[in-house]
């Protein structure tokens, strides 16, 4: 009797393992979609962490350079991030504040790496770029009014033909 039960259990286990292996092999598209969904969840989680750190630098520490560098990488690395509007806002406002010499950090001075990207004019142009993108791409954002006010201070939204240059 014990041999019979053991044989039945082993047979059932072999059938279930074979079925799951066949299901995994036949589900090419479904398996890819699952893998993509997991990657998207992980990307969203990573981007959210980066945003939280940048927000902390921006709001609490007034470390606008650190906040800008964080969200600049976030925007480039996670273009489908669900809270991209806030990242664009922090990038734009950090650039603006750095151009005005505000905050606890100053923009890098030559011969520092990337110092030419942090001249007053370049920072104001970056601020305009990010804030214009926020206004155009996220018309229902909670940051819209502040972005529009900052854009008015910078001379208005960047025209579409200006964006290409």
Q: Check: CB of residue 161 under 8 Å from CB of residue 103.
A: no
Q: Check: CB of residue 108 under 8 Å from CB of residue 119.
A: no
Q: What is the pLDDT of residues 102-148, one digit of tens each?
A: 999 887 776 677 778 889 999 999 999 999 999 999 999 999 999 99
Q: Which CATH class is domain 43-164?
A: mainly alpha
- DSSP state letters, 95-164: HHHHHTT-SSS----TTSTTGGGGSHHHHHHHHHHHHHHHHHH-TT-TTHHHHHHHHHHHTSPPPHHHHH
Mean pLDDT of the chain: 82
Whether this prediction's pTM lies above 0.85 is answered by: no
Q: Would you kindly state where each structural domain of the chain is located, as residue ranges?
A: 43-164
Task: Identify the residue with better confidence: 129 or 8.
Answer: 129
Q: What is the pLDDT of residues 26-51, one digit of tens each?
A: 444 444 555 666 778 999 999 999 99
Q: Check: CB of residue 120 under 8 Å from CB of residue 96.
A: no
Q: Phi and psi dihedrals of 24, rounded to 5? A: -65, -35
Min mean pLDDT across 18-27, 44-53, 95-104, 142-151 is at 18-27
Summarize the confidence of residues 82-91 as an average pLDDT.
Answer: 97
Query: Is the CA virtual torsion 22, 26, 28, 29 positive or negative?
Result: negative
Q: What is the pLDDT of residue 109?
A: 74
């Amino acid at each position: 009797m014990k041999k019979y039960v053991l044989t039945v259990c082993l047979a059932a286990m072999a059938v279930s393992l074979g079925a799951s292996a066949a299901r995994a092999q036949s589900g090419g598209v479904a398996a890819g979609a699952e893998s993509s969904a997991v990657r998207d969840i992980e990307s969203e989680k990573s981007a959210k962490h980066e945003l939280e750190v940048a927000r902390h630098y921006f709001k609490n520490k007034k470390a606008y350079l650190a906040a800008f560098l964080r969200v600049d990488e976030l925007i480039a690395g996670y273009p489908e991030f669900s809270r991209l509007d806030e990242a664009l806002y922090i990038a734009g406002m950090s650039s603006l504040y750095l151009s005005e010499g505000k905050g606890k950090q100053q923009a890098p001075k030559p011969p520092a790496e990337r110092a030419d990207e942090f001249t007053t004019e370049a920072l104001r142009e970056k601020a305009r770029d990010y804030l214009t993108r926020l206004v155009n791409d996220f018309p229902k954002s909670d940051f819209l009014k502040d972005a529009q006010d900052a854009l008015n201070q910078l001379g208005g939204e960047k025209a579409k033909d200006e964006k290409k240059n």
